[in-house]
Amino acid sequence: TYFGDAKEILLYLNNLNVDCIGIDCIETSVNEILKHKFYEKEIALGLLDSRSTSLEEPKEIASLLEKIAEYCQPISLYLTPNSGTEYRGYTNAVNKLKILEEVKEIFNQD
């Protein structure tokens, strides 16, 4: 579902007969996601902006994931970039992947 702001269709997506929903969290506000329960779904959250060279703070991303896990209660939770990492080149892609790794370590400690 990585096609932009999913605010208006989150309920529709949640009711689809699919196992996992991917949400671009750069375009879709996390506050909108927090309004929904995903009891029977896995959700993949594009919280890293792959179109930007700015680097996200791993602790902030892990905190958002914890909040989403608590409020939305999905079966599984995945962290991803919001789109392909080729837009800003190899170095930026590697930096974003390192952030994914750091967030995983922080998130799994809690």
What mean pLDDT comes out for the span 63-68?
Answer: 96
Q: What pLDDT is attached to residue 36?
A: 97
- HSE-up of residue 35 (Cα within 13 Å, Cβ side): 11
- Model confidence pLDDT, tens digit, residues 69-103: 999 999 999 999 998 877 788 898 899 999 999 99
- Model confidence pLDDT, tens digit, residues 12-64: 999 999 999 999 999 999 999 999 999 999 999 999 998 899 999 999 999 99
Q: What pLDDT is attached to residue 2?
A: 63
Burial status of residue 25 (CB atoms within 10 A of its CB: 0-12, 13-18, 19 or more): buried
Neighbours of 42 (CB within 10 A): 15
